[in-house]
Structure 1
Amino acid sequence: MAITAPHLTQSLLANPPIPRKSRVRVRATMAPPNADQFKDHHPSLEVLGGARDSFCPVIKTHLDRPYDPFPVFGSNRHLETIFAAFFRNIPDVRLKRECLRTKDDGTVALDWVSGDAGNLPANSPILLLLPGLTGGSDDSYVRHMLVRARNKGWRVVVFNSRGCADSPVTTPQMYSASFLGDLDEVVEHVGSRYPKANLYGVGWSMGANILVQYLGKEPGSRRFSGAASLCNPFNLVMSDEDLCKGFNRIYNRSLGKALSSILKKHLLLFEDLGGEYNIPLAANANIIRDYDEGLTRVSFGFKSVDEYLQNSCSANYIKHVRTPLLCIQAKNDPIAPNRAIPREDIKENPNCLLIVTPKGGHLGWVAGENAPTGCPWTDPMVMDFLQHLENEKSGTPQDTTNLLQSLKV
Structure 2
Amino acid sequence: MRGVQALAPASPLVLTAAAAAGALGVAAMFRGTKELKPTVQGQSTAWNSAILSLCPALTAPYRQPGWMPRGGHFETILAAWFRKKPHVLYDREIVHMPDGGCVALDTEDLPAAQQLPQDAPVLILLPGLTGGSEDSYVQHAVVHAREAGIRAVVFNSRGTSGSPVLTAQFYSASFTEDMRNVVAHVRNQYPHSLLFAAGWSLGANIMTRYLGEEQDRTPISAAVALCNPFDLPLSDSNFQQGFNRIYDWNLARSLNRIYQNHHHLFEAEAANGEGRPYRPDVAIGAKTIREFDDAITRIAFGWPDVDAYYAGSSSSLSIPDVRIPLLVIQAADDPIAPKEAIPFEALQANPQCLLVVTPTGGHLGWSGGPDGVTGACSPGAPWTDAAVAEYFTAARQLLAQPEFAAAAAARPAQPAPGEPAGVWTMEETTHQAP
> Shorter-chain-normalised TM-score: which range?
0.7 to 0.9
Q: Hey, what does 2:92 align to over in structure 1?
A: 97
The answer on whether the counterparts of 1:70 and 1:371 sit within 8 Å (CA) in structure 2 is no
- Inter-partner Cα distance in structure 2 for 1:23 and 1:173: 54
The answer on whether the counterparts of 1:136 and 1:165 sit within 8 Å (CA) in structure 2 is yes
Shift of 1:392: 2.4
Matched, 1:45 2:41: no
Matched, 1:79 2:69: no
1:157 counterpart (126, 141, 153):
153
Matched, 1:231 2:227: yes
Q: Hey, what does 1:252 align to over in structure 2?
A: 248
1:196-227 deviations in Å (ceiling 9; x for gaps)? 00100110000000011111112585210111
1:29-44 matched pairs, under 5 angstroms: 44=37
**What stretches of structure 2 of length at least 5 have no aligned partner?**
1-29, 271-275, 374-378, 403-432
- Inter-partner Cα distance in structure 2 for 1:222 and 1:269: 34
1:46-76 deviations in Å (ceiling 9; x for gaps)? 21023543432222x2244222222344523
User: Is 273-282 or 339-348 further displaced after alignment?
Assistant: 273-282
Q: Percent identity?
A: 45
2:395 is aligned with what amino acid?
A: L
- Inter-partner Cα distance in structure 2 for 1:178 and 1:364: 30
2:381 counterpart (371, 375, 382):
375
The answer on whether the counterparts of 2:199 and 2:225 sit within 8 Å (CA) in structure 1 is yes
Q: Hey, what does 1:15 align to over in structure 2?
A: none
User: Is 187-196 or 107-116 further displaced after alignment?
Assistant: 107-116
Q: TM-score when scaled to structure 2?
A: 0.79
The answer on whether the counterparts of 2:201 and 2:229 sit within 8 Å (CA) in structure 1 is yes
Matched, 1:25 2:33: yes
1:24 is aligned with what amino acid?
A: G
Shift of 1:250: 0.2
- Inter-partner Cα distance in structure 2 for 1:73 and 1:204: 23
The answer on whether the counterparts of 1:69 and 1:75 sit within 8 Å (CA) in structure 2 is no
Shift of 1:116: 7.6
Q: Hey, what does 2:103 align to over in structure 1?
A: 108
Partner of 2:62: helix, strand, or coil? coil
- Inter-partner Cα distance in structure 2 for 1:374 and 1:181: 34
Shift of 1:394: 3.8
1:139-158 matched pairs, under 5 angstroms: 139-158=135-154
Partner of 2:333: helix, strand, or coil? coil
- Inter-partner Cα distance in structure 2 for 1:221 and 1:25: 45
Structure 1 residue ranges, 4+ long, deviating more than 6 angstroms after superposition:
none
- Inter-partner Cα distance in structure 2 for 1:193 and 1:90: 28
- Inter-partner Cα distance in structure 2 for 1:262 and 1:247: 24
User: Is 181-190 or 221-230 further displaced after alignment?
Assistant: 221-230
The answer on whether the counterparts of 1:228 and 1:382 sit within 8 Å (CA) in structure 2 is yes
Partner of 1:272: helix, strand, or coil? helix
The answer on whether the counterparts of 1:178 and 1:210 sit within 8 Å (CA) in structure 2 is no
The answer on whether the counterparts of 2:97 and 2:103 sit within 8 Å (CA) in structure 1 is yes
- Inter-partner Cα distance in structure 1 for 2:292 and 2:127: 19
The answer on whether the counterparts of 2:38 and 2:60 sit within 8 Å (CA) in structure 1 is no
The answer on whether the counterparts of 1:178 and 1:312 sit within 8 Å (CA) in structure 2 is no
- The change in CA–CA distance for 1:23 and 1:283 in structure 2 (over 3 A counts) is farther
Partner of 1:69: helix, strand, or coil? strand
The answer on whether the counterparts of 1:328 and 1:354 sit within 8 Å (CA) in structure 2 is yes
Partner of 1:386: helix, strand, or coil? helix
Matched, 1:193 2:199: no
The answer on whether the counterparts of 1:116 and 1:155 sit within 8 Å (CA) in structure 2 is no
- Inter-partner Cα distance in structure 2 for 1:279 and 1:168: 18
The answer on whether the counterparts of 1:48 and 1:354 sit within 8 Å (CA) in structure 2 is yes
1:213-266 deviations in Å (ceiling 9; x for gaps)? 111112585210111000000011110000000000000001111111111011
2:380 is aligned with what amino acid?
A: G
The answer on whether the counterparts of 1:329 and 1:356 sit within 8 Å (CA) in structure 2 is yes
Partner of 2:175: helix, strand, or coil? coil
The answer on whether the counterparts of 1:221 and 1:323 sit within 8 Å (CA) in structure 2 is no
User: Is 174-183 or 76-85 further displaced after alignment?
Assistant: 174-183
Q: Hey, what does 2:412 align to over in structure 1?
A: none
| Number of equivalent positions | 361
- The change in CA–CA distance for 1:386 and 1:224 in structure 2 (over 3 A counts) is same
1:7-406 matched pairs, under 5 angstroms: 24-28=32-36, 44-50=37-43, 51=45, 52-59=48-55, 61-73=56-68, 75-115=70-110, 119-175=115-171, 179-218=175-214, 222-274=218-270, 276-372=277-373, 373-394=379-400
- Inter-partner Cα distance in structure 2 for 1:64 and 1:339: 22
Shift of 1:361: 0.5
1:173 is aligned with what amino acid?
A: Q
Q: TM-score when scaled to structure 1?
A: 0.84
2:35 is aligned with what amino acid?
A: R
Shift of 1:273: 2.5
User: Is 304-313 or 175-184 further displaced after alignment?
Assistant: 175-184
The answer on whether the counterparts of 1:74 and 1:365 sit within 8 Å (CA) in structure 2 is no
1:237 is aligned with what amino acid?
A: P
The answer on whether the counterparts of 1:102 and 1:108 sit within 8 Å (CA) in structure 2 is yes
1:287-306 deviations in Å (ceiling 9; x for gaps)? 00110111111111111100
- Inter-partner Cα distance in structure 2 for 1:136 and 1:26: 31
- The change in CA–CA distance for 1:177 and 1:227 in structure 2 (over 3 A counts) is farther
The answer on whether the counterparts of 1:74 and 1:360 sit within 8 Å (CA) in structure 2 is no
- Inter-partner Cα distance in structure 2 for 1:177 and 1:151: 36
**What stretches of structure 1 of length at least 5 have no aligned partner?**
1-21, 29-43, 397-408
- Inter-partner Cα distance in structure 2 for 1:245 and 1:116: 48
1:106-153 deviations in Å (ceiling 9; x for gaps)? 010000111489933221100111000000001111111110111122
1:311 is aligned with what amino acid?
A: G
